[in-house]
Amino acid sequence: MSLYDCLSGRGPYSGADDPWGRMFHDTGPVPNLKPEHAEEIVREGFWEVLGWHFESSMIPQLIVERTGGHPDFVQHFCSKLQERVAARGDQTVRREDVKAVFFDDDPSYSFVAHVRKTLKMNLDPVAHLLILLIADRARESRRLTFEQFAEVARLSRVEIPRQIIEESLRRLQVTSVVNETKANMYEFAVPDYPLILSRLEETRHVAELEDEVEEVLRA
């Protein structure tokens, strides 16, 4: 199946419309979009659909690294890029645009705010807290043991029972955030996720999650 067919709606992504169009019209997540396809989708979308240019050929890769290739994150990131470049009017996506979108701290409308909301919708508070606390270690070593998750859990001011950690790790596998490569050995499903999570590690956000974890454990 060629990329052109996929972009034209004849691929596995959608029977009705192309994935790039869905990215900009917010009609829902792109089905079956694998991380390794995301860079091609970004490149073809800006070049062929919008007729825009890249300051550097590396920019599609930078976009994928900062979104993990996750369809919803790619969609939102590209939408923010489109807004920024359209306002400038030169139809050229620059490195500074990618950096600005990634580091925008607006609490409601930024890319990082969207990631935070998405994780909150799809993960329980314990799982959400665990992946934030483990993010730095995951950037140093892709493979993580159960004991490492238990160790970072002890960094929290909330005591999290071992059984709850096990249950949260199972949920992280079900939601395709992490994979268990062998018994008690895990890795993030997408290697770039820790880079994204590093944007969420502000003290206030962690404290809010700890409050939510306390409520869950009391229930």
Residue at which a domain ends, from 39, 74, 105: 105
Q: Which domain holds residue 81?
A: 3-105
Residue 62 has pLDDT above 70, yes or no: yes
- Do 96 and 34 sit in the same domain of this protein? yes
- Do 83 and 172 sit in the same domain of this protein? no
pLDDT top residue among 31 and 74: 74
Mean predicted confidence (pLDDT) in 147-161: 93
* Rounded Cα gap, residues 200 and 196, in angstroms: 7
Q: Each residue of 22-37: pLDDT tens digit?
A: 444 444 433 435 656 7
Among the listed residues 67, 13, 27, 85, the one whose alpha carbon sits nearest the alpha carbon of residue 199: 67
Q: Helices 95-103 and 59-67: crossing angle, nearest 10°?
A: 10
Judge whether 125 and 213 are in contact, CB under 8 Å. Answer: yes
Residue at which a domain ends, from 74, 105, 136: 105
Residue 114 in domain: no
Mean predicted confidence (pLDDT) in 166-188: 90
Q: Average pLDDT over the chain, rounded to whole? A: 82
C-alpha atoms less than 13 angstroms from C-alpha of 125 in its C-beta half-sphere: 17
- Do 8 and 92 sit in the same domain of this protein? yes
